[in-house]
Amino acid sequence: MKKIIYSPGEPSGIGPDLIIQLCSMPFWEKINVPVICLADKKLIQDRALILNKKIKITLLKDINNVNSNKLGVIQVKEISKCKITKPGKLYKSNAAYVIKNLDYGIDQALELNTSLVTGPISKENIITINKDFSGHTEYIQKKTNSNDVLMLLGSKKLRVAIATTHVPLKQVAKLITKKLIINKATILHDELINKFKIKNPRIKLLGLNPHAGEGGKIGTEEKNILEPAVAELKRRNINISMPLSADTAFTKKILKSTDAYLGMYHDQVLPVIKALSFGNTINITLGVPIIRTSVDHGVALDIAGSRMSDTSSLEEALLAAKRMM
């Protein structure tokens, strides 16, 4: 039986709020795939009281004995106990709880017919117990022993992937190599075929420098690294453009002829997709042997427990996880 595992992430944020709100909406039954929430039962109960939501919790011993979604009912698998269930403030004592839920979700997603959807986490909090933690994408790569990984954000309007993820801007140029671009573009091409069912993906590659280097006048990375990488990729029959200037790469005309963009760094492409589709964007991890999607927003401590959370991104993440199974 197909099923989706939801790991709400940071317990003090809106991750628990989203599932509590969503289980009372028509979407909950219409998705037609069971959703299992990895959480401390008390956390969900306490948050539901704060949100003034009447829900029923079904505690699962075996996630394979799961039922179809029913309005107002959340099927919960307890992996660990949450130390403090109060919303709106980070507690270091909850960091291990977040990681234990995530680890279990990854392990289960390695099984057939199971997808993982993750809620927002606080990197700041998790770093208190794991100083090397830099984000879901890199963590899942290590946990699944994957050689390489790619972070993609998608919406109904566009898809953007990133050659480098959560690194300081001053390190980006040093990380951009011919091998890196070939690997990332190959993952993007293959996953657009396998997960998105696009027969001949059209990829637009963004330059690193302003105006894509202006022929070497504003940086040489395009000429020395990106263009040779594109030549090799084309020899492998991958439909990818020469480096484009990022400031004009997202016009309506170019968008129509693009299935996905490959940007060089985090803030080159994410502001574009979030400006166009914030709240309806999802994060997808490519290049790993699991299906993992995520919401496009942070923990939102300021509105946790307030009933102001928007479930749109979680809905999109759940739908995408279902489609890819």
Matching residue, tokens 């964007």: 281
Map 31-78 to HEC letters. CCCCEEEECCHHHHHHHHHHCCCCCEEEECCCCCCCCCCCCCEEEEEC
Residue in 6, 24, 17 with CA at minimum distance from that of residue 70: 24
The kind and range of the H/E element at 284 are strand 282-286
- Domains: count for the chain: 2
Provide the residue type at 312 as one letter: S
Distance of CA 10 to the CA centre of its chain: 15
Q: Which of 42-46, 131-135, 283-287 has the lowest mean pLDDT?
A: 131-135
Alpha-carbon gap, residue 34 to 225, rounded angstroms: 46
Residues 119 and 12 in one domain: yes
Dihedral, 49, 51, 52, 55 alpha carbons, nearest 10:
-70
Three-class SS of residue 170?
Answer: helix
Residues 295 and 177 in one domain: no
217 φ, ψ to 5°? -80, -25
For 56-100, what is each residue's pLDDT tens digit?
999 999 999 999 999 999 999 999 999 999 999 999 999 999 999
For 194-223, what is each residue's pLDDT tens digit?
999 999 999 999 999 999 999 999 999 999
Provide, rounded to the nearest whole percent, the portion of the chain with pLDDT above 90: 94
Residues 60 and 114 in one domain: yes
| CATH code where residue 237 lies | 3.40.718.10
Three-class SS of residue 151?
Answer: strand
Range of the domain at 98: 1-146+288-325
pLDDT at 116: 98
Which residues make beta-bridge pairs with 162? 151, 263
Residue in 209, 313, 301, 308 with CA at minimum distance from that of residue 263: 209
Residues 221 and 115 in one domain: no
**Strand bridging mode 73-77 / 292-295:** unpaired
Residues 213 and 293 in one domain: no
Residues 152 and 281 in one domain: yes
Residues 137 and 26 in one domain: yes
For 105-120, what is each residue's pLDDT tens digit?
999 999 878 999 999 9
Residues 98 and 206 in one domain: no
Confidence of residue 12 (pLDDT cuts 50, 70, 90): very high
Residues 170 and 121 in one domain: no
Residues 279 and 297 in one domain: no
Q: Token pair for residue 234?
A: 């084309």
pTM: 0.92
Confidence of residue 237 (pLDDT cuts 50, 70, 90): very high
Residues 46 and 123 in one domain: yes
Residues 222 and 318 in one domain: no
Alpha-carbon gap, residue 239 to 227, rounded angstroms: 14
Q: What is the mean pLDDT of residues 300-325?
A: 95
